[in-house]
């Protein structure tokens, strides 16, 4: 129904307008109650642990969909095992000028140059205080260009949710590249750890990298630094930087299906590096049950998606859960964490 009826309507609109409409629909209790009745995650075979947080399904929502944390509870009802709100910054931001989103239907991809538009910590944190029991499956992405600003967000948000995702890798935001220096990243993570003595699960979202030797070496050094400094997990990875004249600022980040192969390779490289010292969450191009399988076989503990929802609709998490269970049943795999080798076809 989504592809036949709703997607053509949404795709006839500007990208940000259609996103706002879909977010508005999630405010309507009838919508997410109807989805929740069909999408509840109940099979223990899908349960996994991400950065010390136990979740009922490995399928998570990536940061960027609910930037202001308005509909996180509703999104849980669509079948996600966990969701990530934000990215949240200390102060309100308008982001980059429009046009800043472009659909690429032929490749089921998106371009974006949003640049962290959001209402800021003061307006968003009260919503997190009202999450109730849902907080155990909710992460929030935070970022900024100044260490102390990020630390303020960390201290305010960390007690309210299951864990924090630190975004140092958006290609659309000025100032983040300073944290691609291992020494600066270490200093930031150690500051976050010292600012809240009790342990809060912390994941770091890394920038993507190619298989070129020097680029790979730098990326893995950053991953190793993050874990040794105190991160419990790594999200692999952010959108791929591209130049495109359809975006007002002339450049942005590519997400969606074209990223899948690279995501699998990067996941395997990082998982081999960190072993059991940190969780690896794969993000980029995931839209089918076999994609989830491949990421777990590469060493992931969970996956995140966003662009897949744009093209497949709100029932995608449910279909991924059911499809993954079918693949596991075919292969005799008892738990998602036991997946290995290629998926059965």
Q: Which residues are catalytic?
A: 170
Residues 289, 303 contacting (CB under 8 angstroms): no
Compute φ and ψ for 293, nearest 5 degrees.
-55, -50
Q: How many alpha carbons fall within 13 Å on the CB side of residue 90? A: 12
Residues 260, 291 contacting (CB under 8 angstroms): yes
Residue carrying structure tokens 């979202």 = 205
Residues 117, 91 contacting (CB under 8 angstroms): no
CA 31 to chain centre: 23
The structure tokens listed for 124 are 């968003």
The sign of the CA dihedral 247, 253, 254, 255 is: negative
Q: How many alpha carbons fall within 13 Å on the CB side of residue 340? A: 1
């Amino acid at each position: 129904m989504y592809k036949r009826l709703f997607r053509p309507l949404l795709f006839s609109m500007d990208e940000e307008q259609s996103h706002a409409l879909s977010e508005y629909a999630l405010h309507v209790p009838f919508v997410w109650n109807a989805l929740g009745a069909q999408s509840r995650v109940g099979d223990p075979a899908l349960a996994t642990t991400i950065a010390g947080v136990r979740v009922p399904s490995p399928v998570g929502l990536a940061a960027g969909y609910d930037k202001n944390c308005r509909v996180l509870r509703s999104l849980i009802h669509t079948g996600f095992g966990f969701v990530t709100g934000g990215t949240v910054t200390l102060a309100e931001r308008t982001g980059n000028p429009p046009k800043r989103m472009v659909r690429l239907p032929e490749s089921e991809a998106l371009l974006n140059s949003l640049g962290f538009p959001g209402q800021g910590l003061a307006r968003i944190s009260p919503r997190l205080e009202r999450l109730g029991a849902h907080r155990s499956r909710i992460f929030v992405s935070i970022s900024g260009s100044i260490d102390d600003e990020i630390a303020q967000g960390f201290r305010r948000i960390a007690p309210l949710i299951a864990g924090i995702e630190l975004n140092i890798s958006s290609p659309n935001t000025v100032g983040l590249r300073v944290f691609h220096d291992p020494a600066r990243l270490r200093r930031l993570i150690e500051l976050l750890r010292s600012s809240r003595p009790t342990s809060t699960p912390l994941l770091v979202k890394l920038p993507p990298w190619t298989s070129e030797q020097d680029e790979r070496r730098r990326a893995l050094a950053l991953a190793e630094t993050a874990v040794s400094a105190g991160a419990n997990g790594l999200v692999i990875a952010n959108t791929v930087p591209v130049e495109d004249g359809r975006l007002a600022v002339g450049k942005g980040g590519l997400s969606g299906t074209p990223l899948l192969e690279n995501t699998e390779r990067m996941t395997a490289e990082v998982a081999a590096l960190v072993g059991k010292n940190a969780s690896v969450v794969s993000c980029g191009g995931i839209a089918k049950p076999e994609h989830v399988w491949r990421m777990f076989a590469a060493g992931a503990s969970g996956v995140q998606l966003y662009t897949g929802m744009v093209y497949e609709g709100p029932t995608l998490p449910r279909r991924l859960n059911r499809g993954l269970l079918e693949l596991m049943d075919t292969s005799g795999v008892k738990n998602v964490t036991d997946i290995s080798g290629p998926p059965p076809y």
